[in-house]
Amino acid sequence: VAAEAAAASAEIGEESDSNDLKKSKTKELFRKAYAQHRVEKMTKDMLTSLRNSENSPFVMAADEEDDGDGDVPVEKVTYDSDSHLSVLFQMHGSVWPSVLPFCLVNVLITYLVVLAKWNGIDLTFPSDGHTFMAIMVSFLIVTRAQITYHRFMEARGYLSELFRSCRELIHHTAILTMQDKCRGAKQWRKDVAFRTIVLLRVTIAALEFRTSKINTWDVVPTDMRQSMVTFVPDGASPSTPRASSTHRMMKWAHGVRTLSDENFRAPIVMAYNLRAEIMKQRNGQYLKIDMHPNEELKLLAFVSDYIAAFHGLKKLITTPFPFPLVQMARTFLFFWIFTLPFALVREISEPVQAMLIIFFTTFGFIGLEYVSMELDDPFGDDPNDFDDLGMAQMVFEDIYITLYKLDGSASAEDLRKQVANQVKRGGTAVQEYHRDMQESMGSMGNLA
């Protein structure tokens, strides 16, 4: 940095005849260079300190894997679009493994039709009907692929909004209270950050529930599980077991709720808890400088943005692709593709040529259907699914860095330790849920 400043100083000397002007500009360059050097050194020291720390926020995935909670991000599909060979022969994320059996079966059917024709048994028929039917099949398959792709990108947009809202909430929380460095303010900022991390982690668990079968209630810290039950009768003891409280809450239900319903309810309850945490500073025990109501509304607005994006994701997950359209498309597809050899062999007598055409036609049509199937549910552990957990962990790290810049490494490390120790995955909430259901049904039978 000093060398660059010296070189710039030499250039100034060539352009300016005034020694005073040269000295002032040189001093200004050295001042800026030193400031840049200090920023780079502080950033490097921060990263080194956090990485070397026992509770480093940058080793979250490894820590959680060691803890046995199973939080392993999806291995994303990457490819070099400039390399044709790499794109053609890459198997990770490809539909080749799923489509290849259909291609081989259809080639075998083609070979048997040719063999039968050679032996005087003609199973072929004119291709006029297949030509007309190909238009219908192409329309259904391409339309389904387009709709699925738009749903895929819409889901990715909502997911980005979740991450943006979390980052913006913590940034504004830090910026709007950065003049208050008292112990209470630091604790409040850390509590808001922790509630934000829990909300995001619970949301990811809810989105992945259909694939992972891991209940969101098992992701919630143990000391928060009781607060997840909203319809607890007055006078219930805070130490009431969760199963018993849930049993009481179910008396308020307007219908039978599935485990999936309860999982999608968890982020909404945690969002309420986050809003309550934001407003907790009004009791005067945390901030020495009161927040303006407009500042509070700004923070609450980010939570509202988060919930709006979550409801968008819930809409896509709970509203699958219309079944009649899927059924019709696959009926036409399989009937057309597996009767194609009988029409094609009539037009093409060369068996190798016919089998090659059948092979790649099968790959094209059934492959496109499998692409739609792959993109239809992007929340899971398939290669083409979103790496939502990995992206969420990046948000966690950004939150640690924000807290570090304002309140120091001790606060960031305490938050990281709190996340590592409390945000766990277990295997008990599903059993609790089924037990609650059985107890509730038994009680309803007794009342009847």
pLDDT (tens digit, 9 = 90+) per residue, 156-213?
Answer: 999 999 999 999 999 999 999 999 999 999 999 999 999 999 999 999 999 998 888 8
d(CA 81, CA 212): 32
pLDDT band at 300 (very low <50, low <70, confident <90, very high): very high
d(CA 440, CA 448): 12
d(CA 251, CA 231): 9
Q: What is the DSSP letter of 301?
A: H
89 contact partners, CB below 8 Å, separation of at least 6:
none
The mean per-residue pLDDT over the stretch 422-448 comes to 46
**Range in 5-9, 236-240, 279-283 with the lowest mean pLDDT:** 236-240
Residue 286 burial (CB count, 10 A)? 19
* pLDDT above 80 for 435: no
pLDDT band at 45 (very low <50, low <70, confident <90, very high): low
User: For residues 182 and 238, which has the higher predicted lDDT (pLDDT)?
Assistant: 182
On the CB side of 309, CA atoms within 13 Å amount to 24
Residue 321 burial (CB count, 10 A)? 15
* pLDDT above 60 for 15: no
d(CA 429, CA 202): 14
The predicted pLDDT at position 420 comes to 86
The mean per-residue pLDDT over the stretch 17-24 comes to 57
| Rounded percentage of the chain residues whose pLDDT exceeds 90 | 57
356 contact partners, CB below 8 Å, separation of at least 6:
none
Q: What is the pTM of this model?
A: 0.75
The predicted pLDDT at position 34 comes to 61
d(CA 166, CA 201): 11
CA 404 distance to own-chain centroid: 25
Q: Using CA of residue 175, residue 180, residue 186, residue 190, what is the dihedral sign?
A: negative
Closest to 127 in 3D by CA, of 308, 310, 391, 358? 358
The predicted pLDDT at position 2 comes to 53
On the CB side of 296, CA atoms within 13 Å amount to 14
Query: pLDDT tens, 50-62?
Result: 455 444 444 443 4
Closest to 314 in 3D by CA, of 393, 206, 199, 195? 206
d(CA 240, CA 370): 49
Q: Average pLDDT of the chain? A: 80
* pLDDT above 60 for 36: yes
pLDDT band at 42 (very low <50, low <70, confident <90, very high): low
The mean per-residue pLDDT over the stretch 257-286 comes to 91
